Each structure stands twice: as structure tokens, then as C-alpha cells.
Structure 1
Amino acid sequence: MVSIHTRQLLSGLVLPVMVFLAVGTVLAGQIWPGRAIQIRMAAAQKAGAIYQVLLFPQRQFHEWQITLQGVGDLLAANAQLRQENQKLAYWHGEAQTLRQENARLKAVLHWGAEDTRDYVSGWVVRDESGPYLRAVLLQVGEHRVQQGSLAVDSFGLVGRVSEVGPHVVRVLLIEDAASRIPVTLQSSGGDAMMIGDNTPYPRLMYYNQSLMPEEGEHIVTRGQTGLTGGVAVGRVHYLAPGQPVVIPDAALGKLELVRIFDGGFTLEAPPSAGRVREKPPLLPDHRDGEAPSNWQNLRRFLPFSSLRNG
């Protein structure tokens, strides 16, 4: 039996030891970021499979519930489907006519399809959305994916790859506070920067004041060096005067299959008239051609370091 004084002494040491281990882990992650990412991604990969197994009963019960709820509406749904089938038959004929006309116009203009980019498809194995993070884990197998690649679903832009592991990658969603995507306003013709703020509607900033975003206009990614342009993003909506946000086209709340376009993407907004330039980083990670040293990583993290504006 452990004495009362010994138990009190051990209980008093638990908090300092845990704080010391937490600080040591954070420091080790800042000093050796590459190794920390590998360990974190390996742990996330293992936890993803367990997470899927634990969620199986919940998903199965949800499917049964939806099935039971739909039994009572079969008659009404059947009548509605018949009406929609008639409408679809009409529009199918119109689509066939337009398709033939489009083929004739392409032949006249010698139009050719654009080269398709290589992409990797992956299933979402874990949703990491929370108060301070909007991200998902994708199972991509043995495929090689570059950090910074764009990720889309069947509707539009989802985000970009932030971390790469052996078999899984983490995709930072466009609504995360660390997301920065240059976009083009299709109706007004201006450029802007779409910035996430951990809400379902990313903000539009750094746009030309003479080309204000229009309510409801569609926006796409801006084509520039290393970034594929024309990818559907969403539509503009004003929460308040002077506060435009983006309603994403992608179904960020129920992602299942996501495609990652291969390639190195740089998501930096070039300076132009009417756009406010962001401040440079307080402390550069490394000089040109040199990898960051352990001392630079530690100096960037410590609060008492001597920082200077770049």
C-alpha cells in the first residue's frame, strides 16, 4: 500500500511532468518538422481505419432510418418522378440537338479539347474539422502527391494538400483560416484572394475597389504560374455591405471521393493596383538555396527571440 503522503507527492508531480512533456513535444516538432510530420501522418493513418470501424454502426443505423422514412413517401415520389421523367425526355431531345450543333461548330472552328491534367482520386477516411482546423484525410495508396496540389470534388474546389504521408494526405479545406486561394470574378472580371476564417463561407479580400464583386456572380481559380485556372470555386454573397464572402460549390460537409490534381502549385497573390499587399514573414525560414537549420526553427518558435520585419 502506498502511503497518503506518497500519493499526494505523486499527484503533485503529474501536472509538471505532463507540462514538461508537452513543451518538449512542441519544441521537438519545431526543431525537426519533417520527422514530426511523418510521425503525425503515420498515427493519423492508423487512427483512420479505427475511426471507420467505430463509425460503421452509426452509418448503418442512419441508412436504416433513411430507408424507413422513405417508405411512406414512395407514392408521392413516384408521381413526382413521372413528371420529372417527362421533363427530362424533353430536355434530352434539346440536348441532343445542341450537341449536334456544337459538333458542327467545333468542326468549323477546328476546336480541340485541352490537355487533361494528371490526377489522383482518394476516399476520405477521416474528417478533422473542428473549432481551429478544417481538413480531411485522404487514402491515396502508393500514388505520389505533391504538397500544395489542388483538390476538387464533383462540384468544385475543396482545398489543397497541406501534408503528405506514405499512404494518406491531409487536404486543408478552403474554409480553414490558413487557406489562401487566388480567384477570378467571372462577371466583374476582377481578381481577388479567397481567405478562409474557419466558417462555412470564406472571405473575399484584396480585390480592386473599382471592380467590386457582384452578388451571385461565379468565381473560379485564377490561372498563374503553377496554379490551374478556371476551377469552379463558388458564388459571391454579401453578409453585410462591404463584406463579400464565397458560398462554395463543393459539398464540404459530406466529402467522400476527392480528386487531387498533380503538380506544384504556388498560391501567392501577385501585387497589382487596388490590392493591399500582405506583410512579409517576420523571420525568413532560410536563405535562397539553403535549408532551414535547427537553430532557425527553434528561434522562430521561441517567444523571446529577436524578431525583425522582413
Structure 2
Amino acid sequence: MVSIHTRQLLAGLVLPVMVFLAVGIVLAGQIWPGKAIQLRMAAVRSVGPTYQALLFPQRQFRKWQLTLQGVGDLLASNARLRQENRQLAYWYGEAQTLRQENARLKAALHWGTEDSRDYVSGWVVRDESGPYLRAVLLEVGDHKVQQGSLAVDAVGLVGRVSEVGPHVVRVLLIEDAASRIPVTLQSSGGDAMMIGDNTPYPRLMYYNQSLPPEEGEHIVTRGQTGLTGGVAVGRVHYLTPGQPVVIPDAALGKLELIRVFDGDFMLEAPPSAGRVREKPPLLPDHRDGEAPSNWQNLRRFLPFASLRNG
């Protein structure tokens, strides 16, 4: 055992010895520089692997820290991109809705010239009840509409105003059994009466027998007092010999926006390229050479009847 006095003596000699040793190393390095460099390089070579092993946990922790920071940045960027994607999807839907509405409004504005502005536009509310079988309600706001005015969609005649109320009017469609529209045949030049029969294809009656309607010719409304002339109506088709009907240009099955024209001025129709609709060929109700049955003749006059062709 080392006595206390001895330990105190050794503790007091440590600092002077370390200082003397340091001064001796510095002097030896100055006296023998080559030897000092060799000793220093040997020490570095021997201590280097140990130093690298001691630094490995610190370096690995730094890599993990950078990786976690990158993952956090990616998550934040992903969340921001998802939010922007939702906003873009919302605005894309809004743009598509506005584009479709703009297309419908532009199509409706194809009617008439710039000077003929006496019209009212409104959105359709379907009306399956009331005094007529085939009619729609039209929202017109505070605008005044006269009874009997013609109503058109983007391509052709829809019907006539049958009832006028506050903010709404009822439009009687041309296919209703109560509908009577005077028309002019553009190719043959004759006049006729288009009469609805609760079928998709109104009949042509009271035409000049010497100038019968031609297959496929277009017809327009006949201008007269209280009725706007020149409005596109549809094309002529023969279900059977001597039985001409009208294939309407207007899309009566999906009405949305309707314009009502007041007055008895002549109205210029839109171009035929955007007006004439492609229709499937109609087939007669009976074979050629066979007379129609009594039931086929009777059901044309029933208010709830419906012809099925094709």
C-alpha cells in the first residue's frame, strides 16, 4: 500500500514531469525532424482505425437524421400536392360545368339576327300534370310573355305558350294532341297544318293535294298575325303512303333552356348543319299491302295513345 504522503508527493510531481516531457518531445522534434514525422505518422496509422470506429455511430446517426428529415419533407410535399390536386379537381369541375352551360347558352343564341331581340329565355321545369298531356313549365321571372308565342330550343320549334302566370308560363309542346301549328313546306312551297297526336311525330294535315309534302323536305312556321314565321320545325317523313308526319328538329325529350319569341316578325333560323338531327328510320305500323287494323286506326285519336315505330 502506498502511504498518503507518497501519493501526495507523486501527485505533486505529475505536472512538472508532464511539462518536462512535453518540452523534451518538442526539442526532440526540432533536433530530429525526420524521426518525429515517422513517429507521428506511425501513431496516426495505428490510432486511425480506432478513431474511425469511434466516429461511426455519430456518422450513422447523422445519416438517419437526414433520411428522417427528407421523409418529413416528402410527407409535407405530398400533403400539399394532394391539397392542390383537390383544388384543381374542384376548379376543373367548375370549368366543365361553366363550359357546358356556356355551350347551351351559345346554342340558344343562334336564333335570329341582332335586331330581333324581342324574346325571353328561361330554364325548363317539367310538368306532367295539368290540362295538357305534353307540356313544360318555363321560368321567365318578371318578363311579360304573350299567350300564343312560339318557344324554341337551340335547334328548332318546341311549342307555343298556352298559359301565362306570375314568373312562369306553360309551353304546350308540338307533340301534344291539342297543338295546332301552321307550317310552310320549304321545297314544295305549300302550306299545311301540323297537328300533334301525343306521339313523338306530329301529323301533317290540310295541305294542297296537288302539292303533297316531299319526303325529307324541311318545314318552318308560317308567318301570320300573332305568329312568328320562319322558325325551323323539322323534316317530313311518310309512315305510310299518304300519311306524312314531322320529325322535329328540337330535342323534345331533354329540354333545358327555351327561348320564347313575341311578335309576328320573320325569324331567321340557325344554320341547317347545326339544326337537322339524325333520326333512326321510322317503320310503318303494318306491312305494305295490308290495311291497318281498327285498333291502329282508333288509338291515334286516344289522348293517351302512343305510336311505336322502329
TM-score by length of 1: 0.47
Larger Rg computed on CA atoms: 2
TM-score by length of 2: 0.47
